Amino acid sequence: MKMETTLQGLTASLQIARSARKIIGFVPTMGNLHEGHLNLVREARKLCDVVVVSIFVNPIQFGPNEDFDSYPRTLEQDSHLLAEVGCDILFAPSVEQMYGTQPRLTNIQVNKITQDLCGAQRPGHFDGVAVVVTKLFNMVQPNYAFFGQKDYQQLVVIQQLVRDLNMPIDVIGVTIARAEDGLALSSRNGYLTAEQREIAPKIYQSLIKAKQQLQQKQPLAMVLKDIGFELTQAGFEIDYVEARTTLLQSIEQFDQDIVLFVAAKLGKTRLIDNLPVKFTG
């Protein structure tokens, strides 16, 4: 596995693959890798001749009170993990390499679907995501890009971005990786205390219960209310509990395929999860 830290080095490493019309797969990450990230690389390995993974903690997607400075940087450990699962090129640029030294005057916004859910709780977050992903797509020029479905809203935003800007990239969503007790794997799980880690799987448990209730024809509004009540009782501070269509449109009743969303805090740690629910009539 090669590691590149500059655009020039990345371009040189990919030149032979591009000349030979190799299929290039790309997995963008912020590092501190866990099994969920590694699953993305494994999926890329199945479809692609060359797999590129980026590690870049993107400052412009963090809000003023969020954890950019304390976000774990574990590049050496991450590089060993990536080599083991078949990554060909690790791209680990600096902030200066990504954004230069001059003021950034260009922004990218995906409207409507970024305004609710995590977008409402984290103003400007998805603008920062859209900018950095567009830059990375331009640098890597992959055929396929792989994103985890845990960040479902982000996945839909990137798919919309690619469609709207006619980028020749297939964006692939990969199933959420979970711990044995159901907790969605996340770099932020490391912030949880031992006691909080015992409580955290209740988010997934509540989603599973809600899915069963919906399949038993219980009203959507009541099911969402039950999720919020159960999690509050367990010690969570709720950001939102919502149901949306698979394209993130608002919905009032369960009459089509939907996705259930939860974002909640345990102490200072913000956890998100989601669960698709198919409508069977």
Sequence letter at residue 103:
P
Of 4, 10, 37, 244, catalytic: 37
The binding site for ATP consists of: 30-37, 148-151, 177, 185-188
DSSP state of 176: P
Rounded Cα distance between 211 and 214, Å, is 5
Q: Work out the end-to-end distance of the chain between its first and last CA atoms, rounded to an integer number of angstroms.
A: 50
Rounded Cα distance between 269 and 187, Å, is 11
Rounded Cα distance between 32 and 4, Å, is 18
Rounded Cα distance between 28 and 119, Å, is 20
* Bridge partners (DSSP) listed for residue 204: none
Number of H helices, E strands in the chain: 10, 9
The binding site for beta-alanine consists of: 61
Of 189, 230, 195, residue with least CA distance to 209: 230
Q: In what order do the strands lie in the sheet with 237-245?
A: 237-245, 258-266, 269-277
Catalytic (active site) residue 80: no
Q: Which residues are part of the catalytic machinery?
A: 37
